[in-house]
Structure 1
Amino acid sequence: MTIAGTLIIPSDFGYVGLAAAGTLIYYTALGFSVNGARKKYRVPPPDMGSGIYASKLDEKDWVAFNNVMRSHLNLSEQLPSYLTLLLIGGLHYPRAAAGAGALFTTGRIIYARGYIGSGPEGRRAGAMISMASIASLLGMTIWGSAKLVGLV
């Protein structure tokens, strides 16, 4: 059964757009740090840290280069889920979703700084913050969607 309807976007949804834009600006900035690491360690594309150029690095430089790469790639892996939950959850609870989006970006900044500066152990605090944000966005999306279809 199909019911035609109108999608009403709350006026506060602009905050969600700002949260998404902030995350994407940070993602771009983190990409520039990858470019800087490529130049510093002389690892050109398409080498992602395990190719012929990276294999010529000493262990310390190889680890440092890969810490930068992994911090960026992990954010790349998280973005589709995060943005989907942010946008859908934001239709139901725009201010709360925008706050969770700001928390996600803050967590990702802490994650990258920790990973780049201290290796995999340094990412823990940022990972916990960003995952808490994802969990809250998932809750907003599920609860708001369940309300929309009359399940709750």
Structure 2
Amino acid sequence: MQVPNEYGYVLLVASGSFLVNVLHFFLSANARRASGLKYPIPYATEEQAAKDPKAYTFNCAQRAHGNFVESQTPFLGTLLISGLHWPNAAAALGATWVAARAAYAYGYATRGPQGRLAGFYTSSIADLALKGMALWASAQFAMGASA
């Protein structure tokens, strides 16, 4: 198996996803500071969030970050696998996912659950396409087809 020359684009996009995690860190840290909730409290209680909009915003930022952490590893797997067969398409879809997840993070942390929807839908479409490509690329490699 040979790594395509354009695979660097795939790695660049993968590295870009790490910056989205940094964005989440800042959004959560700012929301924590504003809410007054101290470490190690991971979330405001339902009662706190109902009484204090800043505690609710903190919960939104934390949930957005948790969702990102849950989805980044599968994204990276599908990106890296599909990029072995179609590096340019994988990089383009991956860049779409990264940008949409940044929009998701910012929207959720600043406008609540409704603010995440545009980023959610866009990233979901890119993610589904990458999953299909990864499955197809894996089957091609398993059957002995070259990139």
Whether TM-score is above 0.5 comes out as yes
RMSD (CA atoms): 2.1
Q: Tell me the TM-score normalized by structure 1.
A: 0.85
Tell me which residue corresponds to 2:8. Answer: 14
Task: Report the counterpart of residue 118 of structure 2 in structure 1.
Answer: 125
Equivalence map 1:56-135=2 (5 Å): 58-135=51-128
Instruction: After superposition, give the CA deviation of every residue in 1:120-142 in whole Å (9 maximum; x if it has no partner).
Output: 12211111111111111111111
Give structure 1 stretches of 5+ with no counterpart. 1-6
Cα distance, 1:116 vs. partner? Answer: 2.0
In structure 2, stretches of 5+ residues that fail to align are: none
Which one has a larger percent helix, Structure 1 or Structure 2? 2
1:105: how far off?
A: 1.0
User: Which position in structure 2 is the counterpart of 1:3?
Assistant: none
* C-alpha contact 2:34 2:54 (8 A) present in aligned 1: no
2:40 counterpart residue number = 46
Looking at structure 2, the residues matched to 83 and 126 of structure 1 have their Cα atoms a distance apart, in angstroms, of 18
**Residue 56 of structure 1: CA displacement?**
8.5
Distance of 1:11 and 1:104 partners within structure 2: 22
Distance 1:147 1:96, change over 3 A: same
State whether residues 10 and 94 of structure 1, in contact with CA within 8 Å, keep that contact through their aligned partners in structure 2.
Answer: yes
Q: Which has the larger radius of gyration?
A: 1
Higher RCO, Cα 8 Å, sep 6+: 2
